[in-house]
Amino acid sequence: MEKLIRLLKSAIKLLVLCIILTGCRQPAAQHAVVIPRFTVPHFAECADTVVDMGNYISHYSYELKEPLYVSYTLSRGGGSCNRAHYRFRAGPFTATASDYSHSGYDEGHLANAEDFAYDCALDKKTFSFYNCLPQTPRLNRGIWKVWETRIRALSQTKTLYITAGGIFTTKLIKPGKRVAVPDYCYKVVIDSASRKTIYCLLFPNDDTDEMISIDLETLKGTLGYPLKLAGTK
């Protein structure tokens, strides 16, 4: 028995020495991703109007001064149009460039411009505040752009129905400016042939550069407004 106790003490000493010298530790516990369910009132409960831009449809909120979401069909997206001189255009009851100026947010496309770069007239139509949400530069130029590129690549072999929008609570772009900032942006991608959901993606509108894959019903239950997906009647 005494020999066993001495062996146990020696083993404990070796373990302590390992921790001190090499930083040995137990692996951290893995935490499940928690999908947000907002408890504060949402800004808008439905779109005030539907604006058909020809290549995409904007489900627009006058209260937010921006779309809740847009929807469009994408097939063989991409092209060579030069967008260097395009600027976002305002419309009735929309945000303006001055709202975004010095706000710290990008003018974030929902219907991606490069998706329509095969036709410069359609491409230019995406530069509208009917198709724009405030996004952090990290989101807009990071993981959001990565997924725009992946989805466009998929459109070379499949015709896709795409819906993209935001989840809103109480954030504003600037003090005194009634332009809402989404807490999250999302994309839903459906295969037009099978009508099956390929992707349902949630993106925190912050500097984490993260994406959360969720199921469609969970997304619908989180939005605070009804969602009419691209490709549905």
Q: What is the CATH number of the domain that holds 183?
A: 3.40.570.10
Per the domain annotation, does 7 fall within a domain? no
Q: Looking at the domain assignment, is residue 232 inside a domain?
A: no
Domain membership of residue 6 (yes or no) is: no
Domain with 86 in it: 29-223
Burial 118-134 (b: 16+ CB within 10 A, else e): eeeebbbbbbbbbbbbb
Q: Token pair for residue 109?
A: 């496309």
* Predicted pLDDT at 23: 37
- In a domain, residue 21? The reply is no
79 belongs to a structural domain: yes
Instruction: Tell me whether residue 124 is in a domain.
Output: yes
97 within a domain of the structure (yes/no): yes
pTM score of the predicted model: 0.82
**Considering the chain, what is the average pLDDT of its residues?**
85
Q: For residue 170, what pLDDT is reported?
A: 86
Give the pLDDT of residue 32: 42
Position 4 scores a pLDDT of: 40
- How many structural domains is the chain composed of? 1
Q: Which residue has the tokens 């752009």?
A: 145
User: Residue 3: inside a domain, yes or no?
Assistant: no
* Segments of the chain scoring below 50 in pLDDT: 1, 3-9, 11-33, 38-40
The CB density around residue 60, as the number of other CB atoms within 10 Å, is 25
What is the predicted pLDDT for the residue at 43?
Answer: 63
140: which 2 tokens? 């807009």
Count the Cβ atoms, other than its own, within 10 Å of residue 176. Answer: 6
d(CA 35, CA 32): 9
